[in-house]
């Protein structure tokens, strides 16, 4: 998140455009063709995985630090993708959320037919609870996430939106668009929001 | 995992459990570094050397439908010249009219000289957990071991070699798939980890020089030698991409990009890794 903010600031200052320009040495069509040829056993329904969508194309072209007009266009486009819980509630079951945060299962070519639900794999990149010491450091630390936000309802909604589509909040964020890309369901995202925002969750255990 | 590895791992885990949260990250790094050092202390304890020996036997034994050895295979320094060949790969081969890394070149020799069918060789080219590296990988391990102690010196000056490096760079930052990942998602920043696994910042020459020369490497966690092509295949698996074909232009281009970054770095293959 800090990274995304820094990148956003850098792009506002126009620092990245010159660098991005120099990288256009290879014709994108040539790259696309090489990628298509590299995965000859990919089934028809996997072909969409091989090519970046418009947002990813723009992110890669700008080193994930797009200039402001592109930044704003991505944010608007990605925000429009967010589907909200039909019952209007953002907090599910934090215990299920913890299990989802631990699980990296799903959507790899060895995960078909699916033996269980996809995980969110949050711990791969984030420190979330003090109990789990095997955590990654690509994403920001989320310790005491809810407590620091005084468990406000509006913050639960914001967390839901970030998990559903990180690029709506931070265009070109490195985080997967877990809801928009159909990795997690609305209910699963609510469970992870509960992990972050429930007063009972180990995320919010006192020091 | 070996018994020693398990014991160390258990001890490391126990150490983590007692560490206070504020110190956990530093302690984690130190403990992991200690574990890596212990793995390297006795180079003869590396089971990957057995695969290098197996690869040497496979190289010199007449095999395949044509019943010939690979001793006429030209790895770039002339037919049968293995010493130092790996250090100058990938390179452009006029006979194949393409840039090839060590595995792609061995694949080509097994097809053209020995008469193996390419389709068979690329069908299941990498071992599952616990199974030994396949024949092609063992041969690559042997060839790489014959450059151990040298430094990477691929010229990458031919227009096709330059094109491969540029393609590799474009691929390195290209995001796609349901998780929106590029290689750069994990390997562009210094000092990052996935869970407890440190991620080399491969776009930075100092970091690339430190790790690229370790492959093919014996992986303690999967108890077999993993080749560079297998390493990339596994990255794409994690990225939720389909199965990367052995010898595909994409894999050669990525290897050319990485080796170019690692130029001057020491080759220690087969190394031993967590």
Contacts with B, A 14-73, CB within 8 Å: 23, 25-26, 28, 30-31, 34-35, 37-43, 46, 49-52, 56, 59-60, 63-64
Q: Is B235 a catalytic residue?
A: yes
Residues B114 and B197 in one domain: yes
Query: pLDDT digit of tens for each residue in chain B (274 aa)?
Result: 444 444 444 444 433 433 343 345 567 778 877 877 887 787 788 999 999 999 999 999 999 999 999 999 999 999 999 999 999 999 999 999 999 999 999 999 999 999 999 999 999 999 998 899 999 999 999 999 999 999 999 999 999 999 999 999 999 999 999 999 999 999 999 999 999 888 999 999 999 999 999 999 999 889 999 999 999 999 999 999 999 999 999 999 999 999 999 999 999 999 988 7
pTM of the predicted model, to two decimals? 0.88
What's the structural domain count of chain B?
2
Nearest CB to B240; choose among A49, A136, A174: A49
Q: What is the ipTM of this complex?
A: 0.88
Residues B159 and B183 in one domain: yes
Domain A94-204 has CATH 1.20.1250.20: no
- For residue B232, which of B40, B101, B114 has the smallest C-alpha distance? B101
- Contact flag A124-B194 (C-beta cutoff 8 Å): yes
pLDDT at B244: 98
* Six token digits for residue B80: 């049968």
pLDDT at B21: 39
Nearest CB to A109; choose among B167, B237, B250: B237
- Residue B15 contacts A where some CB pair is shorter than 8 Å: no
User: Which residues from chain A sit within 8 angstroms of residue B257, using beta carbons?
Assistant: none
Q: How does pLDDT run across A132-144, given as a tens digit for each residue? A: 999 999 999 999 9
Residues B23 and B139 in one domain: no
pLDDT at A169: 95
Average pLDDT over residues A154-166: 98
- Residue B221 contacts A where some CB pair is shorter than 8 Å: no
Residue-range domain boundaries for chain A? 2-79, 94-204
Peptide bond into A35 cis (omega under 30): no
Residues B96 and B227 in one domain: yes
- Percent of chain A exceeding pLDDT 90 equals 86
Are A159 and A145 in contact by the 8 Å Cβ rule? The answer is: yes
Give strand ranges (E) for chain A.
none
pLDDT at B18: 38
Are B180 and B239 in contact by the 8 Å Cβ rule? The answer is: no
| Model confidence at A55: pLDDT above 50 | yes
- Residue B262 contacts A where some CB pair is shorter than 8 Å: no
Nearest CB to B245; choose among A40, A125, A133: A40
Calculate the alpha carbon distances from B183 to A59, B121, B236 in Å.
14, 26, 9
pLDDT at B111: 98
Contacts with A, B 195-214, CB within 8 Å: 195-197, 199
pLDDT at A207: 58
> How close A150 comes to chain B (CA, Å)?
23
Separation CA B109–CA B95 (nearest Å) = 11
- Percent of chain A exceeding pLDDT 70 equals 88
Are A126 and A136 in contact by the 8 Å Cβ rule? The answer is: yes
Contacts with A, B 26-65, CB within 8 Å: 28
Separation CA B19–CA B25 (nearest Å) = 9
Please report the number of interchain residue pairs, chain A to chain B, with beta-carbon separation below 8 angstroms.
130
Residues B255 and B162 in one domain: yes
Task: Give residue B18's domain range.
Answer: 1-41
Residues B155 and B25 in one domain: no
Residues B33 and B128 in one domain: no
- Residue B74 contacts A where some CB pair is shorter than 8 Å: no
Residues B33 and B51 in one domain: no
| Model confidence at A6: pLDDT above 50 | no
Mutate to test the interface with B, among A10, A109, A133, A184 (most CBs of B within 10 A): A133
Separation CA B274–CA B261 (nearest Å) = 23
Q: With b meaning 16 or more CB within 10 Å and e meaning fewer, what string describes B20-59?
A: eeeeebebbeebbeebeeebeeeeeebebbebbebbbebb
Residues B250 and B124 in one domain: yes
Are B216 and B137 in contact by the 8 Å Cβ rule? The answer is: yes
Q: How does pLDDT run across B10-41, given as a tens digit for each residue? A: 444 433 433 343 345 567 778 877 877 887 78
- Contact flag B192-A136 (C-beta cutoff 8 Å): yes
């Amino acid at each position: 998140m800090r990274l995304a903010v820094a990148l956003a600031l850098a792009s506002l200052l126009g620092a990245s455009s010159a660098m991005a320009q120099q990288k256009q040495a290879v014709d994108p069509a040539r790259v696309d063709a090489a990628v298509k040829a590299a995965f000859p056993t990919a089934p028809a329904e996997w072909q969409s995985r091989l090519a970046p969508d418009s947002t990813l194309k723009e992110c890669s072209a700008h080193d994930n630090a797009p200039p402001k007009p592109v930044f704003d266009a991505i944010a608007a486009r990605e925000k429009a993708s967010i589907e909200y819980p039909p019952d209007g509630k953002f907090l599910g079951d934090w215990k299920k959320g913890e299990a989802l945060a631990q699980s990296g299962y799903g959507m790899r070519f060895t995960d078909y037919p699916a033996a269980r639900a996809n995980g969110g794999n949050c711990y791969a990149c984030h420190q979330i609870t003090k109990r789990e010491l095997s955590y990654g450091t690509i994403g920001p630390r989320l310790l005491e996430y809810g407590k620091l936000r005084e468990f406000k309802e509006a913050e639960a909604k914001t967390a839901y939106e970030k998990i559903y589509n990180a690029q709506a909040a931070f265009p070109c964020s490195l985080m997967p668009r877990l809801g928009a890309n159909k990795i997690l369901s609305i209910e699963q995202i609510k469970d992870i929001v509960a992990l972050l925002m429930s007063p009972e969750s180990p995320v919010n255990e006192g020091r | 995992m070996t018994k020693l590895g398990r014991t160390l791992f258990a001890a490391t885990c126990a150490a983590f459990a007692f560490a206070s949260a504020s110190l956990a990250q530093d302690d984690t790094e130190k403990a992991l570094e200690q574990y890596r050092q212990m793995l390297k202390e006795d180079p003869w304890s590396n089971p990957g050397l057995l695969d290098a020996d197996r690869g040497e036997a496979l190289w010199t034994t007449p095999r395949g439908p044509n019943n010939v050895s690979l001793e006429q295979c030209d790895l770039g320094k002339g037919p049968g010249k293995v010493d130092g060949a790996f250090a100058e790969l990938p390179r452009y081969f006029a006979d194949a009219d393409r840039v090839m890394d060590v595995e792609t070149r061995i694949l080509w020799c097994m097809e053209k000289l020995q008469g193996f069918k390419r389709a068979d060789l690329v069908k299941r080219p990498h071992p599952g957990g616990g199974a030994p590296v396949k024949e092609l990988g063992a041969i690559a391990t042997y060839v790489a071991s014959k450059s151990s102690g040298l430094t990477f010196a691929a010229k990458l000056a031919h227009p096709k070699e330059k094109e491969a490096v540029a393609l590799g760079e474009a691929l390195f930052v290209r995001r796609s798939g349901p998780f929106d990942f590029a290689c750069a998602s994990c390997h562009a920043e210094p000092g990052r980890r996935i869970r407890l696994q440190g991620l080399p910042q491969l776009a930075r020459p100092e970091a690339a020089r430190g790790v690229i020369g370790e492959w093919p490497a014996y992986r303690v966690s999967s108890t077999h030698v993993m080749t560079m092509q297998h390493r990339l295949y596994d990255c794409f698996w994690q990225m939720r991409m389909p199965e990367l074909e052995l010898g595909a232009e994409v894999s050669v281009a990525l290897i050319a990009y990485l080796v170019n970054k690692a130029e001057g770095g020491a080759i220690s293959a087969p190394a031993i890794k967590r």
